[in-house]
Amino acid sequence: MRTNFILSQGNFEIGRNDMDKYGGIIETMPNNSYMAMCYNYSATESIYFSNEEDDYFTAYTLSETRSSYKQQYPEEVLISEPDQLYLDKIAEVEVMEVPDGEVQEVMFYPTERLVQYTFEIRKVKGVRYVNSIGMACSGVSRSYSMIDEKASDMAATVLFNGNKDSDAETIYGSFKIFGHCEDGSQLNHLSVEVRYTATKDDNGYRTMRWDVTNQMHDETNNKHIILEWDTEFVPPSDDGAGMDAKVDPWDEVWIPVEM
């Protein structure tokens, strides 16, 4: 975790410190009025930060490159799925001088700020023959403002992977986003990109896209998206390819040969 004490007048950080989940001690802190923040900060996670010292303090995730999705959403940045973002902010903290041997305590209670959706795509016959499932959701926020505590208005397409349930013939999974664009004008589309064992009639690649705007903005469905594909993946051994040969019974034929 990281704490960040930002001067109320001056807009620059002065007490930024890394510590574990049990907290820590900031040795030197001038008496003043601060805005205080606590948030998860680790190089092993997929969240990155910019402008930690001013009003444009932002959490974001890295850009991605995948040509097939870039063709579908040319106006949006492709991003990787954010992992976790815990944050607590105290609007004003007065740092005061305390007697030697004592400390002034500031208590933080960080909460998860990312939004998680689950999904299931039904009626996917032969999903057992699928080798990989790439997913994407368009029209989500590109980043998160740590000062304003809200998702940005810049639209992005988040990339993630799906799973398969061969018995239920479904594709399922979950993904996290920073949230929706504030103005709500962006449509959300969920895309699936499947690689599977090729047959004679295709190249082992299939895609589908659905408009999921209503489901994603519906607060009554517990952020669970349900879709139907009504498609079938058939392995090469069952596709009827090749030649069906049939030979009638032989009859004996005698042909006289002159010597």
In degrees, rounded to 5, the angle at the alpha carbon of residue 172 between the alpha carbons of residues 166 and 176 is 155
On whether the CB atoms of residues 136 and 158 are closer than 8 A, the answer is yes
pLDDT at 15: 62
Please list, in sequence order, all residues whose beta carbon lies within 8 angstroms of the beta carbon of residue 8, skipping any fewer than 6 positions away. 32, 33, 34, 35, 92
| Stretch 182-204: mean pLDDT | 82
90 CB-contact burial (10 Å; exposed 0-12 / middle 13-18 / buried 19+): middle
pLDDT at 200: 65
Helix (H) or strand (E) run with residue 60 in it: strand 58-60
Tell which phi-psi region holds residue 146, choosing left (phi > 0), alpha (psi between -120 and 50) or beta: alpha
Residue-by-residue DSSP string for 199-252: -TTS-SEEEEEEE-HHHHH-TTTTTEEEEEEEEE---GGGS--S-----PPP--
What is the tens place of the pLDDT at every residue in 15-60? 667 777 677 777 667 788 888 889 988 655 688 998 877 778 899 9
- Buried (b) or exposed (e) across 157-167, using 16+ Cβ within 10 A? bbbbebebeee
On whether the CB atoms of residues 116 and 174 are closer than 8 A, the answer is yes
pLDDT at 189: 94
What is the tens place of the pLDDT at every residue in 116-175? 999 999 999 999 999 999 999 999 999 999 999 999 999 999 999 999 999 999 999 999
